[in-house]
Amino acid sequence: MISFVDLKTRKRSVAVVGLGYVGLPLAVALSRHFSVIGFDIFEARIAELKTGIDRTREVEPEALAAADVAYTADPTRLREAGVVIVAVPTPIDAHRNPDLRPVRGASATVGANLAPGTIVCFESTVYPGLTEEVCVPLLEQHSGLACGRDFFVGYSPERINPGDKVHTLETIVKVVAGQTPKVRETLARMYETVVRAGVHRASSIKVAEAAKVIENTQRDLNIALMNELSLIFGRLGIDTLEVLEAAGTKWNFLGFRPGLVGGHCIGVDPYYLTFKAEEIGHHPQVILAGRRINDSMGKHVAETCVKMLIKNECGTIGQARIGVLGLTFKENVPDLRNTRVTDIIAELREYCPAVLVHDPHADPAEAMHEYGLALSPLEEFTNLSALIVAVNHHEFESLTPDRLRAMFAPGLTPLVLDVKGMCDKDALLAHGFVFWRL
């Protein structure tokens, strides 16, 4: 089996499979200490990285330029590696079941190019047991090697928070598990080289898999509670954020807020756990109830907008013109994966076709390819009947009440719906706006 010394002396390389939001920062960090191969199946992505372009913006240009990573779309280069780290997406399908095609494909590719003695470490978020039940058989099938004798596996779940420049790979404790104590120790020493916060050695791969999937399930449930509270307080005519600010003065009150729950983690990972739970005969009730609430919030925002338009006497709903600020799944990132802003837009278009969307961070080509949405420049936000601030990008903070009022049709009382609680409520009300926030 490969040793840490083999990696440290650069006798063998570390390969990172999948150079997205997780894989690229990891490859760049590891390249400061080891020989690193960065592999991705998308040749366009490889070409961009070779020229110093990272469309995810997770790695600073200076760090990307200084990184000594051998970027390649040639899978045979994986044969040079002593450790292969798999960091591919694990999405869900249209039926909210795990879509294992990326991790299955990666396992097959790695298996077909697996050198004896290699450790394969998975970072993709999965349900407990998937590494050993799904990935290992594929690695064996495509390599002709036996796991535990000819090659070994480990698991170290990613904890990347897109757009977060404080909680980064280096500053978040890394959970590491291995097929054997020796495998775990080799991986732990490798990760400890780049993770300043240290490493937590889990007792088994299943423990590490379960730890990852419940991190986001816990957050999902807490946000679901806030969303349900916002539904209740809305009917009572109480401002939810004012309630949370008051409750937050108690030292042990958790600071969660209502909102849309999208992205590649919080809105997805719970379904991996519930899928496995159903498989073993347990029907999860609390987790799925939280998911139902969070998945319904886009529709709630859109329906609230329509009701407020009617009360605001904007004219025929079918002729209303609605602006939506923000499309990415969270603020200040270009990540459009599993954004739930699309739920608002789809529901609004059931009532009126004129819905404009603006996002300074989103890639227009990706928005069109993934969702069929054409992004509009902010200059086209004119003669609006309502404006929905869906994502709190920092660019929107400079929109003064006067600038917002100029977006609306003349003679119409301006109506603003603030999903993330970014706007200054008192300022807008003082300027004669009709205002609502989740």
Supply the residues annotated as catalytic.
265
| Beta-sheet strands, E only, within 205-361 | 322-325, 355-358
DSSP structural state of residue 361: S
Q: How many CA atoms lie within 13 A of 26 on its CB side?
A: 33
The owner of tokens 């986001």 is 216
The H-or-E segment that residue 370 falls in is helix 364-371
The owner of tokens 């729950």 is 261
Residue 124 structure tokens: 């993709």
Contact present, 273 and 213 (Cβ < 8 Å): yes
Backbone angles phi, psi at 396, to 5 degrees: -80, -15
Contact present, 291 and 284 (Cβ < 8 Å): no
The string of DSSP letters for 211-225 reads HHHHHHHHHHHHHHH
Backbone angles phi, psi at 253, to 5 degrees: -80, 130
Planar angle of CA 220, 163, 28, nearest 5 degrees: 115
Q: Which residues contact 25 (CB under 8 A, 6 or more apart)?
A: 58, 59, 160, 168, 169
